[in-house]
Structure 1
Amino acid sequence: MMYLKNFVFAYICTIGFAILFNVPKSSLTKSGFAGAFGWIIFILINNTFNSVVVSTFIASFIIALIGEFFAIIGKQPITVYIIPGIVPLVPGFGLYYTMLSILEEDYELAISYGSESLLIAMAIAGSLTIVLSLNSFRKRKKI
């Protein structure tokens, strides 16, 4: 039941950001599915490995693969699906608490939150880079 609730909330969140980013109406449900499925993968991997960075890397990798699939089928740019789909994984919580800890002059806690947020951002960027590079290689191989 918890996974279903998380799926629904992540789906709504992703569609909300997709609307803000002016995603075509025909791609809203696919974009929402990519974000919600990625969030469920994140929760499952995080419960298994107990590592936010590893679970973020794998979940964003899956989101990028789903986005690639939907982009090919729907003949849309891949960013239509990836950008809103990644939003549930963005470390806004950690960045907020990093700034709060700096303002409260608790620098050890700020370093802890900041380094974790930086690693999460690097995991997202790394996984997207890998999938987009594979896509580039696939396109060159066809020609």
Structure 2
Amino acid sequence: MVNIASVLKSEIARVARKEVRAEIEQLKKSSTSQRSAIAQLRRQVALLEKELKQARRQVVSAARTQAVSADDKPRRFSASRLAAQRAKLGLSAAAFGKLVGMSGATIYLWEQGKSRPNAEQLQKIAGIRALGKTAVLERLSGG
């Protein structure tokens, strides 16, 4: 005769395997859908980063085109010419920066070529270039 305990044990194991298999199938389906959602989000992030990069390029391009004065002359920047202009006027970097509305340290960075002025600052530098030494000194003393 068959031992009732062994039959009961094997039946419980069979039912438990069936339950576990059903749970695992649900988890596999959920995992698959989660992975596809993650992949889709990664594609969206990559697309948005690409669009952001293009937008930044357009902003830089627009800023460069804004460096055009009212008489449509493009404003170029040369670090050595800025240093020469400052020396010609006999101004310190701090004094020149005061005219442009920047600090002396920023003027030094421009002269060393480590940074560049933006379009608005190029306009101010061009305006100072048109002035003589006495006019520049009057501006500094007058505010």
Higher helix share: 1
Settle same-fold status: TM greater than 0.5: no
Q: TM-score, normalised by structure 2?
A: 0.20
Q: Kindly name which structure, 1 or 2, has the bigger radius of gyration based on alpha carbons.
A: 2
